[in-house]
Structure 1
Amino acid sequence: MEKAFLILLFFIFGSIIGSFLNVVIYRIPRGKSIKKPAFSFCPECGEKIKWYDNIPLLSYFILRGRCRYCKGKISIRYPFVEFLTGIASVMAFLKTGLSYDYIFTFGFISLMIAITFIDIDFRIIPDELNLIGFIMGIVYSAIKSNLVESLLGSLIGAGFLWGIAYIYLRFRGIEGLGMGDVKMMAFVGAYTGWFGALFTIFVGSFIGAVAGIIGAYLSKSEEKGKFEIPFGPFLSFAAIIYIFFGDIIKNWYLGGIM
């Protein structure tokens, strides 16, 4: 009973953070401050949203997905991000328990969620999020006395992806990867170390390639040559897998090749 209550609390906390992530996702790529205005507003009419219309998950369904003032449609993405972040909070709690590990694990996943949706919409990964993630990873590794592994992970992760981007640009003459993806791997490597960084790149690339092939096949024939997908969401997904199952994956792989 006590654990069920804690799970509910962590879900509520996560959904509140998810509401903040919606602000981050909307404002940062548009060059807007996340501090000012200090209140949420309707993107259609600009009207200030009252606190009782801004309760995570509940308000969306109470208002039936419409702004109270202009009746403009509110994207289902807002409650989805809140729900997703609530689930992420619970998963982080179940993995780490009540410890400082929860803060860094949940922080990592929250940044991955924000990066995913920003990259989907704008094909960019903001430097601010990568820098915050990198600093958090370094601090977390320092606390765990694993700083060298963290720095090595950042170097290998970013360096490996930069090398791929450079080769692609050199031989194809077009940019295949953005520097945001490269900087993101410095952030991921700071958390996961060298093995986790390489796992993220290879698994993210594989999933992205499969999604790209399916997407290109389903797209209109005249657009197939121009079909593009953001890489950040696939890196994020692979990185989250490693955050939760990294020890098992690493022990299985390294044990299998020794």
Structure 2
Amino acid sequence: MILLFFMFINCTILTTLGSFVTLCGQRQLNNQLPWSPKHSVCDFCHHPLSWWQLIPILGFIIQRGRCHWCDARISAFFPISELTVILVTVKTFSSSWSHNLIFTIVILTLLYLSTTDFISQVIYPVALIGLFPLLLVLPRQSFSIGKLMVELVIMGLFLFGLQHITKGLGTGDIEFILVTDLIGGWELTTQIILIGCLLTLIPALIKRNSKLPLIPGLALGFILRLLFCSY
């Protein structure tokens, strides 16, 4: 019972932090500070948002997916992200505070990367540092610096070659994939790429003439793989 209580508290805190992280991503893209301007506003009519509109998930449901002030459609990316944070928190929660802290950092990092890529199709490479705490909980069967470097070089050359040929793979996507390989190895990475591409294929079939961001799909693939791997 006590563990369930702390899980609820952790979910509440993480969802709130997740909402704040998406805000930080949006404001950084606009060259703004996380705390300035003071109030969040609608992206379309720029009307200051009321407190109830900012409640994670519920604010979206209450408004029926549209701005209360101008009736503009709110992207489902944000409530889906907040719901994902809750689901991952419930699945990965444990009695170890260090374990929970590691997954908190990783989840929020993936959310931040997905937000900036979803909005402007760019990522800030320094944010990838937030994925490295996973090295403490994801076991690698063998570790050899030489083998790892060869693996990274081969994968890097392949990805940059693919980028040059297709013009569809971004540099940020490649950086994300290489960091994933560094953390979890090529088997985990290929699984994440496969899941991410399949997830991105669905909206791609709907918006055929639009260039879609890959990081949200890769991040979700990353999360799904974490949920079903042993650590």
Place the TM-score, normalised by the shorter chain, in its bin.
0.7 to 0.9
Letter in 1 for 2:159: A
Letter in 2 for 1:202: T
* C-alpha deviation, 1:22, in angstroms: 2.8
**Match status 1:164 vs 2:158:** yes
Please give the alpha-carbon distance, in whole angstroms, between the structure 2 residues aligned to 1:131 and 1:150.
Answer: 25
* C-alpha deviation, 1:42, in angstroms: 1.5
Q: Answer whether contact 1:18 1:85 (CA < 8 A) is retained.
A: yes
Alignment match, 1:43: 43
Letter in 2 for 1:183: E
* 1:171-210 alignment runs, 5 A limit: 172=165, 174-189=166-181, 192=183, 196-208=184-196, 210=198
Please give the alpha-carbon distance, in whole angstroms, between the structure 1 residues aligned to 2:41 and 2:149.
Answer: 40
Q: Answer whether contact 1:65 1:76 (CA < 8 A) is retained.
A: yes
Q: 1:45 to 1:17 in 2, by over 3 A?
A: same
Please give the alpha-carbon distance, in whole angstroms, between the structure 2 residues aligned to 1:240 and 1:64.
Answer: 27
Alignment match, 2:129: 134
Q: 1:181 to 1:56 in 2, by over 3 A?
A: same
Q: Answer whether contact 2:88 2:227 (CA < 8 A) is retained.
A: no
Q: Answer whether contact 2:92 2:100 (CA < 8 A) is retained.
A: yes
Alignment TM-score, normalising by the size of structure 1: 0.67
Please give the alpha-carbon distance, in whole angstroms, between the structure 1 residues aligned to 2:6 and 2:63.
Answer: 28
Corresponding residue to 1:235 among 215, 218, 227: 218
Secondary structure of 1:56's partner? coil
Residues matched between the structures, number = 229
* C-alpha deviation, 1:180, in angstroms: 0.7
Q: Answer whether contact 1:116 1:236 (CA < 8 A) is retained.
A: yes
Report % sequence identity: 20
* C-alpha deviation, 1:240, in angstroms: 2.5
Q: 1:183 to 1:88 in 2, by over 3 A?
A: same
CA deviation profile, 1:68-100 (whole Å, cap 9, x unmatched): 44454433433332222222222231xx43311
Letter in 2 for 1:59: G
Alignment TM-score, normalising by the size of structure 2: 0.73
Alignment match, 1:251: none
